[in-house]
Structure 1
Amino acid sequence: MQHRHYVETVDRTLRDICDCEKPFRGITIVLGGNFRQILPVITKGVREQIMNASLRHSVLWKDLHVLSLDLNMRLNHANLGNVFFAKFLTEVETDPQEIIKIQSTIHKCQDLKELLSAVYPQLDVANISTPSFLTERTILCARNDDVNAINIAALNIFPRNTYTYLAADKMAEDDEIDPSITNRYPNEFLNSLDPFGLLAFKVELKVGCPIMLLRNIAPKDGLCNGTRLMVSRCNTHIIEARILTGEKFGNLAFIPRISLTPSSTEMPFRMTRRQFPVGLAYALTINKSQGQSVKFVGVDLRTPVFSHGQLYVALSRCTSFNRISILLLNDEPDSTTNIVYPEVLL
């Protein structure tokens, strides 16, 4: 997903420091990735802009030697069903057809309630929420709105007290102009805004629910953007949670509120929001799930995928074909949209 400019910047830096015109100053550089997966994200970008941001269109590409890995290591190939599923994934990742038929052996759900039950069975039992239970399950969606809706639905089923945390919003420029000035816009208006890069105004949690960190807090302690945790205590000024992923698995973490000012230029003013940098993690976006292997996966495709490689990434997160559950549109119960840019494939 990295923009080619990142790699080119490293190359130019090494050439300048060492006064050498060889690529990367002659140092052997290993780049890992798969062009069948999601390409660099360009905000409101069209196909040509996304392709131009890919490493395939870099001036360095001609100097790279490509080594291909062809065996799907997530799947157990001793299972005949997984062998056919691996072939199906190959079709998904390379077939430029806009509509693709979902393999008949994959479990298809009728509604959201069935999807939740398939991925999170007995969610209405309080003591079912354990670290092992949460780490091996996830539901994937193409858009953030769908992720939020599923997270709220799952939280409502989970039987414990709800803790609600509201953010504190203010105009970022007010202190610079005159500290005595209050917000020039009503608080209700600021609270209703949800620009890119800003935390949610309202966060609802329950003890035992999974959450994900949305900002880097303490990387050395395993508290990075994308880290999954399980809430163990909800206090007024701090959230106590147990880390579920990475080398710090099982460690206890204390998450404070932080203040953020988004760099978005969509608004004619700058605002600051103070809130806990966490979100519910029963469901994730497909983009956020890249690189993960999960035992039980649900995929909500009622809103079809919209970029290259998303469908392949969603279906390939699971370690076995018989543990995938898919929710499709009612008028298309056996097929879904697939987007592939053949020009980027090796």
Structure 2
Amino acid sequence: MKKLSTLGTIELNSLFLRALDLMENSNRNIFITGRAGTGKSTLLEYFRAKTKKKVVVLAPTGVAAVNVAGETIHSFFRFKPDITMEKIKRKSNKSNSKSIYHKIDAIIIDEISMVRADLLDCVDKFLRLNGKNEKIVFGGIQMIFIGDLYQLPPVVTPQEQEIFRGYYQSPYFFDAHLFSKLEMDFIELEKIYRQKDQRFIKLLNAIRNKTITLQDIAKFNEKFDPNFEIKNDDFYITLTTTNQMAKELNEIELKKIKTKLYQFQGSINGKFDLKNLPTDIELQLKVGAQVMMLNNDKQGRWVNGTMAKVADIKQHKQTGEDIIIVEKIDGNIVEVTVNTWEIFHYQYNQAIGRLETEIIGTFTQYPLKLAWAITIHKSQGKTFDRVIIDMGRGAFAHGQTYVALSRCRTLSGIILKKPLKLSHVWLDWRIVKFITNFQYQKSQIECSLDKKIDLIKEAIKNKTKLQITYLKAQDVKSKRVIMPKYVGEMEYLEKTYLGVEAHCYMRNEDRVFRVDRILEIDRVSE
């Protein structure tokens, strides 16, 4: 266990260590994924704090860039909103900005699920023209993609859809044309830190993979309570599908409080787009208002997403500055002063040979916002103890229901305003196909089909057990111990495949496994 600034104590498990080793000690491209709550953001921050490489951290949206103290993809590459491949040009050798693309060791793109295929192709072309090596994908710069494809998807407007369909199989980053030339390692973080209850984790996985049954739906719907009334100190937060729903709920709750209304005016300097502000530029609060903290406190008193209530508002005796006093969900009282968020632009300082960040815009305001309600989209990456989920007219995006339900630490902390239906669970099967096929291909490279068959035949001959990691076509992965009995060609629904018949100790029954879906296989030491 290691302590890292505002992160607190983190566990460097085996997959974290493997990811960190590839990130720091290789030039290999990597896709790091994992279910909600597996520590993807923690891994990014840890690596950035420890690395000796010249690393740039980018994100697809302004809000995501602020959250990771990075820069948007468009800003870093100086792309305009309507960027296309044809508009990308080679920069002049005299251009100071060109040198940075030669000096970068690695580019991390966070929230990769929201990056469109056409944008990634533009990044590739730009780096080939202006990076280290025109003949290599991304100009020879190591690319590290972080994110969960089962959460929020890229945005393609209705006007763009028809045009997009003619050029790409899907809007997802993995359907960029460059992917046919890209070699990439795959790491899936597996340990979930947000939830501890294995039954709840199993239910969330069923939502994520759309393997959910009517029994699972019924289990969630035990939490359906349309008449649920929040008590004043319960700290429930409502997750909504739209900004308007969240705004209206917060306004209604604020009006219920009969104490004095305070207004705090924030300030913007330089370039900081209003739509990327983490909180209101004119923040309205009352004593008793429920709020959410929006930064990781340097003293470790709260993290981004901590729930609290405004306990008092007073003035500092010496400076006259307003101080907001809040009571956190754990009962601790803390003083909150203004915070400054920064928008960065990366640049290379040739004089000292170092990658630096130039602050091009700042926003100063108290690091909190009204939090009786927020959108599901803005809840991504946050953890709550008590959640009310209001799906409104239902989910309208892939992964939305999974994001909402997985924000809560426990099933007991969830209240459903509307019953969950199978129609609320959206899954884009193109994601499942990519994730599973990619892992099957990587497995074939690391352990060929012939080698797997040899290990199975050896185990049959010696009557010994094998441990396998098995990946079903629905992207459901499991580790299990088997005693193989037969391996050979089999048939199912008039299709032949190579299978192994074995006793499965996890199920305590004989089962058949497709050999090409076995990702890992090892002898079991008796």
TM-score tier, shorter chain, comes to: 0.5 to 0.7
> Aligned with 1:298: secondary structure?
strand
Q: Distance in 1 between matches of 2:199 and 2:421?
A: 19
CA contact (8 A) 1:238 1:255 kept: no
Shift of residue 313, structure 1, vs aligned partner: 0.9
* Aligned: 1:138 with 2:222: no
Correspondence 1:59 to 2:59: no
Deviation at 1:54, TM superposition (A): 2.2
Provide the residue aligned with 1:206 in structure 2.
Answer: 286
Residue in structure 2 matched with residue 310 of structure 1 by the alignment: 400
Q: Is the 8 A contact 2:395 2:426 kept in 1?
A: yes
For residue 314 of structure 1, report the CA deviation from its aligned partner.
0.8
Give runs of aligned pairs for residues 331-346 of structure 1, distance below 5 A. Answer: 336-345=423-432, 346=435
Q: Which has the higher contact order (CA 8 A, sep 6+)?
A: 1
Give the letter for the 2:428 counterpart. Y
Q: Which amino acid aligns with 1:340?
A: L
Alignment match of 1:2 (pick from 111, 114, 123): 114
Quick one: which of 362, 379, 383 aligns to 1:289? 379
Paired residues for 1:1-346 under 5 Å: 1-4=113-116, 7-8=120-121, 10-15=123-128, 16-43=130-157, 52-62=170-180, 63-65=182-184, 67-69=186-188, 71=190, 73-74=192-193, 76=195, 79-92=197-210, 102-111=217-226, 114=228, 117=230, 122-123=231-232, 128=233, 138-157=237-256, 159=257, 161-163=259-261, 165=263, 204-211=284-291, 231=310, 232-233=312-313, 240-241=323-324, 252-254=336-338, 279-328=369-418, 336-345=423-432, 346=435
Identical columns (%): 21
CA distance in 2, matches of 1:19, 1:80: 48
| Distance in 1 separating the partners of 2:145 and 2:387 | 28
2:239–2:404 CA contact under 8 A, matched in 1: yes
Q: Kindly indicate whether the alpha-carbon contact (under 8 Å) linking 2:324 and 2:337 is maintained by their aligned counterparts in 1.
A: yes
**Higher Rg:** 2
Alpha-carbon separation, structure 1, partners of 2:283 and 2:159: 30
The alpha carbon displacement at 1:59 in A equals: 2.4
| Structure-2 change in CA distance of 1:88 and 1:72 (3 Å) | farther
Per mean C-alpha deviation after superposition, the further-off stretch among 14-23 and 303-312 is 14-23
**Structure 2: runs of 5 or more not aligned:** 1-112, 266-273, 329-333, 341-363, 436-526
AA paired with 2:287? V
Ranges in structure 1 where 5+ consecutive residues have no aligned partner: 168-194, 245-249, 257-274
In structure 2, distance between residues paired with 1:21 and 1:142: 44
CA shift, 1:293, in A, is 2.3
Query: Cα RMSD between the aligned structures?
Result: 4.9
Distance (whole Å) between structure 2 residues aligned to residue 12 and residue 102 of structure 1: 46
1:140-173 deviation line (CA, Å, top 9, x unaligned):
111112212322343345x551416599xxxxxx
Supply the distance in 2 between the matched residues of 1:142 and 1:317 (Cα, whole angstroms).
14
C-alpha separation in 2, matches of 1:22 and 1:242? 54
**What is the TM-score with the length of structure 1 in the denominator?**
0.58
Amino acid at match of 2:397: S
Distance 1:140 1:196, change over 3 A: same
Measure, in 1, the Cα distance between the counterparts of 2:119 and 2:305.
Answer: 23
Could you tell me how far apart the structure 2 residues matched to 1:197 and 1:30 are? 24
How far residue 71 of structure 1 moved from its aligned partner, in angstroms, is 3.5
- Paired amino acid for 2:430: E
TM-score normalised by the chain length of structure 2? 0.41
